[in-house]
Structure 1
Amino acid sequence: PNQKSRQSGNALDFFLKAIPSKRNLYVNEQVSVSYKVYFRVSVRNPEFVKLPETIGFWVEEFDLPKDIPITQEVINGVRYNVAELKKLALFPTKSGELRVTPMRLALDVVQRRRRDPFSMFDDFFDDPFGRTVRKVLTSNEVVFKVRPLPVNSQLSNFSGIVGSLTMQVNVDKLSVTVNDAISYKIKLTSSGNLKSLKKLNIDFPTTFEVFEPKTRQSISRAGNKLISVKEMEYVLIPRTTGTFQIPALKLVYFDPVSGKYRTLSSDAYEINVTPAEGVEGLTMNNYVPKSEVRLLGKDINFIKEEELHLQPRGYRVYNTPGYWITIFSATLILGIALAYRRYLDKMGTNVEYARKRKAYGIAKHRLKKAHQFLKKGELAEFYGEVSRSLIGFVADKTNTPSAGLLKDEVLKLLTDRNVEKNMVEEFGAILDEADLKRFAATQVTPEEAQQFYQKAEQLLTRLGKYF
């Protein structure tokens, strides 16, 4: 507890406390830290002065009620009102002793004539009586002992997930025709950090064309633990007929409760592919419509009864403009198709290239999502999404893992790219403002939030020329 808090006898009248759900854990295991203010006098207008530093952790924030509920606790025989102001979910990214620095909180303490200390239960943040004094409270530091995951040389398909995990896999069709699309869906639900999920190795049939999966991820921020859901949908196009096997998908994760690796396994699927209607042969590349050509014997085409068009003597098709236009158009189309195919291949195999190409679009999409939060008045979510948009853009453009990426590390990445110093400072200021205001969103006006959004959007556009 902070020594600045006024005392009555030997008991503190108010103090700020950081409470971890546990102190010993594994790398990438979820742990929560609650920040609670304890008070026996009237207080109001809380404001975060300094947020805790969480070096070595990937951090998410829990959703807390806008109307903060007040509970009561007895400590050493003294009854306190208690309000939970902030709650973090931390995922350690390395082993060893990791520290979360103290948080500082400013609030107004109402000083008045002695009265029943619990009569202010309903006016926690809005006591209109008495003289107020601004106080700054400092929480305790939290120290964690983080163990590395056990070494298991037999593991070749560890997913990277630490925590509970469930998996659902389904295929929408088991019988299709050639070139008919198949949807292969995977849904993962976990208390672990699904952002650390490694790329899945799924053994699809080699004659199936497999497109990059559509991915959607959401996080439930209520309750005692964050629960993440990740959904992936692969579109498969069979190019040949036959019966094909999609083997069971196996995912290995680490269960921190038992301290053991566990394996989830889906069902295997058998896909029956038949020729498309009106197609002869095994593949679309081999089919010939019956109405086009019929062979009589070995080398005689059927006779077509139609008007005969003759050309003058000396006529050469390659001397006509139409011939060269056709040749040029076909060559151009072929070149574009080959270039696009190479682009798709590169996007599918070169992760660094794909991240850099998609970085701006993903960042703009996140900003649009942030703007939706702004329209709904969900300012804490708005500031968090803007911060993730900017950090994610730099991480993608520099092919840097975004998990656990700190502000100083992001600014160094920008400096290494020779981004102008004033722009780097502006980037850092925006991140600081986002962190501060998402924890004190009730004090932000919609006009201020809109101006902040415009600053972030303009900064993202200006950063584009450096990458």
Structure 2
Amino acid sequence: MSCSRFRKSRHLAARGIYRLTIAFTVLVHFAASTAAGAPTAIVAHVSLEPNVVEPGEPVTYIVSVRGVKSLSPPEISFPSGLQPFGAPSREFSFYMDNRGQHTTTSFRYRLLPTEPGEFTIGPFSWSQRGREIHIPAVRLKVVGPQGETASAPTNAAPPLFARVSISPARPYVDQWCEITIELFRRGVELTDDIQILNLPEKGIAVTPLRELTPQRRTVQGRVYDVRRFRGFARFSTAGEYRFAPAVRVQVIVPPKRRTGPGSPFGSTFFPDLADFFFEGVQTHPYVVQAPRVSIQCRSLPKEDRPRFFRGAVGDFTLDVRLSPTNVSVGDPITVTVTVSGTGNVETVTLPAYSPGKTFRVYDAKLIKKDLSPDGMWGSKIFEMVVMPTTTNVTSLPPFRFAYFDPATERYRVLQQGPFRIHVSPQIPVPDSLETGTPAAQSRRILGEDIIFIKAKPGHLLPLAWLQPPFRIRLIWVNSIPLLVLLVSCYASLRRAAMRDGVSRRERAPAAARKALKEAEKHLRREHVEEFYRLLCKAVNTYFAETLQLAPGHISPDLIIHKMQEAGIPQPILRSAREVFDRIDTIRYAPREQKIPATKADMRRDLVQIRNILIRCRRSGI
């Protein structure tokens, strides 16, 4: 009876476990299918251009979404104090790769700040086509204007000034310090031609100054555009250094436009066609003087200075290698020492190496130097020869190198070794090898070394037969004019090819100007497709002539690459990329994705294309 009850209870328990297992499996599959079926959220890219402004200065709020087509603009509630004006514009950009076509949709909102303060736009959530799109938050700083009334302070910041900063302010001898020159401008348009003047030349080594990413800052309640230049300096002797760098700029002066009957346009938005290239902009040089800077360069501390210190300042590493390690007495051992790191690498030398009386040491020689263009980091490879003079040595003593670390203001010692070597006795040389003559007992006669002269020499040839024939000499003499003729023909063909390349470059502005004139006619008639076709023709024709390529080989990527090589600034490159993408989108995008272009948009694109061509012409492209 008890056995049957036990079997029955075990059977019920097994059935319960089986049912729980099935229920758990179904629940897991349901959760997995729900998670897989739920659409993943998309995070949009948000930016503000610019992010520091004054009241009344327009701001562009940009929302970009990748991978989703046919989106409608999101309804965004902007904070109080930011007044949107105009409907948001929609832009498309796409590119092709091995995985297919990728589309990015961007929405641009024009905002007008009405009061100062710091505003946070977002975050927002936005549903489109069953997909959840998250728009992250961005911050906008609106600075209130100061000093614009009659009681404005007399020490208000000027519209154009410069600042200089050096870090660290009290460097050590041979320590690299950072020099930053900042050019502040407000309401002044400058060209890209900027020169730094009045840098010290004696007792200091200065690397070339490189321009950093532009910024926007507030000075005394006003917003300034800041161009920054950074370089590095190293002082060779201790003492006080005073210098006042200056910045020479080219200020753009707007020309007086002719809007009378002689101009094809009745507004000042367009320059006269006679001033299409090069005459439309006037510049005047101006020197901006920065405040005087005083630097106190310190000597290296004498406390705890190693006796083998040779003036290295920075952060270095040491590598020492020996070859060979199995030698005989008097055989050379090559010691290769590599010193690398950041600091005054150019002036680094090795300390004297004294392994003891059991070695003969020769001076180290520099065999390779690999430095960065500015000389701030790199490596040096030295070689020295060491010869053991006895077999009573089993190792080469360690090699040490000392340098001063300005970050910790302490001397550091690098050491490698000792190095294991095996020195065997010198092999004796036989006397016969020392004298260079064979032993007498090994000498044997191999043959006769005297040849008798013939008693009967036979028939002698005439002397004229031994000289080159006269006709061969005649051929060589006559071939010289032919060679000169061939060389002159090759030079003429090369000059003609060079003249053709120069003439093509000279024809480029005229060809672009002709295409843009045709585009202006279609602008007045509001023929969108023909207008943008002529803009594309102007760009392709100009770069085809200057780069000496076929028009079909010209692409936006090639143009942007050539502009980067010419050193054109990033803002102009971004503007060029945007207008090229807009032209391609209007011309090649599907009909449902085409952007409606207004007359104002067409006029703006015409001006941008003209400015891009002028910039490329001045940069030598």
If the length of structure 1 is used for normalisation, what is the TM-score?
0.49
Higher relative contact order (CA 8 A, sep 6+): 1
- The structure number with the bigger radius of gyration is 2
TM-score by length of 2: 0.38
